[in-house]
Amino acid sequence: MRIYTCAFCGKPIPLSTGIIYVKVDGTVLRFCSRKCFISLVKYGRDPRRQA
């Protein structure tokens, strides 16, 4: 059993939840919510700059 962390906010993702996004180069990004997914993929926001 492995617990993953969100690629945007860094929170742990409970099992059987979240979104998995695979980029063209094979990089796998896991997100805890749609909010984190949209922030990084669609808008390209930098997680370090979010308050």
Write the pLDDT tens digit of every residue in 11-46: 999 999 999 999 999 999 999 999 999 999 888 888
User: Coil, strand, or helix at residue 13?
Assistant: strand
Question: What local confidence, expressed as pLDDT, does residue 6 receive?
Answer: 94
Residue 50 CA, distance from chain mean position:
14
Does residue 49 or residue 27 have the better pLDDT? 27
Tokens of 8: 């945007």
Instruction: Look at residue 51 and tell me whether its pLDDT is greater than 60.
Output: no
- Domain boundaries along the sequence of the chain: 4-49
Instruction: Look at residue 1 and tell me whether its pLDDT is greater than 80.
Output: no
- Domain 4-49's class? mainly beta
Q: Using alpha carbons, list the distances in angstroms from residue 19 to 14, 29, 35.
A: 11, 8, 10
* Count of CB atoms situated within 10 Å of the CB of 24: 5
